[in-house]
Structure 1
Amino acid sequence: MRRKRVLILSEGFGAGHTQAAQALSVSLKKLSPDVQTRVLELGSFLHPTVAPWIFGAYRKTVINQPRLYGFMYRYQYKKSLNRFTQLALHRLFYAQTAEVIRQLKPDTIVCTHPFPNVVISRLKRSGLSVPLCTVITDYDAHGTWVSNEVNKYLVSTPDVKEKLLNHGVPADHIEVTGIPVHPSFWESHDKEQLRRQFGLQAMPTVLVMGGGWGLVHTEGFIEYLTRYRDRIQMIFCLGSNEKALADLSANPQFRHPNIRLLGFTKEVDKLMEVSDLLITKPGGMTCTEGLAKGIPMLFYKPIPGQEEENLQYFTEHGFGEQIRSTETIDYWFQYLLERYPEVQKRRAMLAEKWRQYRPAECSQAIMELMGEKYPVGP
């Protein structure tokens, strides 16, 4: 009997979309070993020379002109991609994507970014009969996600479902599953063993993420944290931002036994588990991973648009707080130092809230779209 095939398409505009795609790939195979998956960042796969230039321009716009990005996000909020963008996607992707689908013969296609979602939707209008499942990777529903050709939307919360309904999406095309995270975030680890692995002390620990998107460029803020380095352990996770890693490594304030500087790592789940507080930009994927680990979060400088919506959701539900000044840092760091047992109770409470999302539900919904039935776990 032929194994079921799932093609998962993402795009390289930030790591979260592809992280969600990879998480789905792993969890689908965990749910059913008979499933074959293929994850592609469509632009990078089809146009490896052009794509980095486009992604670099996007990143510079987000970092250097966030107000412009926010204006465009709000201006287009109730609209699909404009005709110029659709034409560009048509010329860049449609014929080659159709050939990829012809070769791979997927039983369903999953998109975790609006661009491949537009491409596949157009192919479906031209006769492609493969079911299309769209996973929205934020706590908002921008109009660029919306297409009549999508067979099933998997969304983070009932609020996002309501927003899709307001966009005209039929209710039976929407399922609230939560954003998929890698199965490693479902699992618990021995903290003492993790401390030995990373060379950490058994003391209050703060994980700082977001270096690739400008967090460390605000030197006054990032250096302010080091005032606590004698009493609080800090892990700075800088991702692929090699310049930021080199700059902080050369800064005497970050040369301290209680400070760890890390580049790209696939062990964020372990770093979150061994930490007591997460400081991050409110990206949908990172926040969901933090929620899965039950770690309290402080949110730094949201990008206007979807990160503002993510911030609103997580602060309103008590999962974290926005950093408005150094007073926010002082309050939470003193909280760690003076009321550490309460921090552990808070983590247990957050982890309990996470369990309502049932982390395998996204994968189960995709299997059901292909006609496979799997019971939803507790």
Structure 2
Amino acid sequence: MSKKRVLLLSEGFGSGHTQAAHALSEGLKQLNPDLSTKVFELGSFLNPTVAPLIISAYRKTVSSQPGVVGMMYRSNYRKPANGITKLALHRLFYTQALRIVQQLKPDIIICTHPIPNMIISRLRKHRIKTPLITVITDYDAHGSWVNKEVNQYLVSTTNVKQRLLDKGVRENQISVTGIPIHPKFWKAIDRDHIRSRFHLQNLPTVLIMGGGWGLLHEDSALSYMTKWRETTQLIICVGSNDDMRKKLLDDPLFQHHNIHIIGFTAYINELMDVCDILVTKPGGMTCTEGFNKALPMLFYEPIPGQEEENCDHFINMGFGEMLTSNDTVDRWFKLLHQEQTLVEYRKKLKEMRDSTYCPQACPKAVLQFM
């Protein structure tokens, strides 16, 4: 008997959508090794010359004119993408996307970004019958996600479910599963083992995630955190931003045995296990990973739109607050040194997580649908 095939499609506008696709792919194979899965960033795969230019332009707009991004997000919030947008995507990708589906013959298609979701929806309307599942990878539901041809939506919360209902999606088409995370995040690893592996001290520890889309070297809050370096361990992860990593390593403020500056790593799950507070932009995936680890979170510079919604969701749950001043840094870093208070707080966060989230729920829902 041939393996069942799952095709997962995303886009590269921020890393979270594609991370969710890979996380779900690995989760499915973890629960059912007999599945065959493939993950594509559809635009980059079909048009490797133009797609990076579009994504680069988007990133520059996010960095230099976030208000424009927020205005565009809100102006089309309630309605599905208009006919002109769908027609443009149809002209650009229809034939090539159809060819991929016909060649791979998937038993199911899963989209973690609105653009491939629109394209596959149009294919389902005219040329294919492959079932389509849409995984919404934030704590909000923009109208661009909504298409009549979607068989099932997998969403993060009951609030997102209600927003889809308000946009006309039927209740039996929506399952609240939480956002999928990679199986390596499902279980915690012993802290002593991690400290030994990364040459860390047994100290209160803060994980700061920044880079191309995150904290800048000149950010005053980041520099201010070094004030705590004698008693608090800082792990600063800058991803693939090599320029930022070099600037930090050359800066005397960050030249200290309790400050660790790292580039891209496949072991964020282990670093989260050994840290006590997470400082991050409020992307849907990172927030969900921190949530699963029951980590207090300080959020900075949310992109207007979905990241603001992510931020509001976790602040309202009691998982942290916006990083707005040096007073915010001092208040949370002092908490790190109040051991019993921190233990009790994180116990409450774990109880809240356990009552609302199961990391296997999303892949299980896909398997059940199949």
* TM-score normalised by the chain length of structure 2: 0.97
CA distance in 2, matches of 1:114, 1:2: 30
Q: How does 1:1-378 map to 2 (within 5 A)?
A: 1-337=1-337, 339-356=338-355, 357-370=357-370
In structure 2, list runs of 5 or more residues that go unmatched.
Answer: none
In structure 1, list runs of 5 or more residues that go unmatched.
Answer: 371-378
Which amino acid in 1 is paired with 2:345?
R
> RMSD across aligned C-alpha pairs, in angstroms?
1.2
> What SS is found at the alignment partner of 1:197?
helix
> Contact 2:221–2:329 at 8 Å: present in 1 too?
no
CA distance in 2, matches of 1:139, 1:326: 28
CA distance in 2, matches of 1:86, 1:104: 24
> Contact 2:208–2:279 at 8 Å: present in 1 too?
yes
Distance 1:253 1:156, change over 3 A: same
Deviation at 1:217, TM superposition (A): 4.6
CA distance in 2, matches of 1:195, 1:6: 38
CA distance in 2, matches of 1:144, 1:202: 46
Deviation at 1:218, TM superposition (A): 4.4
Deviation at 1:81, TM superposition (A): 2.4
The worse-fitting range, judged by mean Cα deviation, of 155-164 and 293-302 is: 293-302
Deviation at 1:84, TM superposition (A): 4.0
> Contact 1:63–1:214 at 8 Å: present in 2 too?
no
CA distance in 2, matches of 1:227, 1:237: 18
Which amino acid in 1 is paired with 2:145?
W
Q: Deviations over 1:177-198 (max 9, x none)?
A: 0000111111111101100111
Distance 1:218 1:161, change over 3 A: farther
The sequence identity of aligned pairs, in percent, is 55
Aligned twin of 1:375: none
> What SS is found at the alignment partner of 2:134?
strand
Count of residue pairs brought into register by the alignment? 369
> Contact 2:111–2:135 at 8 Å: present in 1 too?
yes
Deviation at 1:307, TM superposition (A): 0.7
CA distance in 1, matches of 2:308, 2:362: 24
Deviation at 1:227, TM superposition (A): 1.0
CA distance in 2, matches of 1:147, 1:83: 12
The worse-fitting range, judged by mean Cα deviation, of 124-133 and 47-56 is: 47-56
CA distance in 2, matches of 1:87, 1:235: 46
* TM-score normalised by the chain length of structure 1: 0.95
CA distance in 1, matches of 2:326, 2:81: 39
Deviation at 1:43, TM superposition (A): 1.2
CA distance in 2, matches of 1:313, 1:114: 21
Aligned twin of 1:376: none
CA distance in 1, matches of 2:320, 2:70: 22
Deviation at 1:334, TM superposition (A): 1.2
Which amino acid in 2 is paired with 1:106?
P
CA distance in 2, matches of 1:217, 1:309: 26
Which amino acid in 1 is paired with 2:167?
H
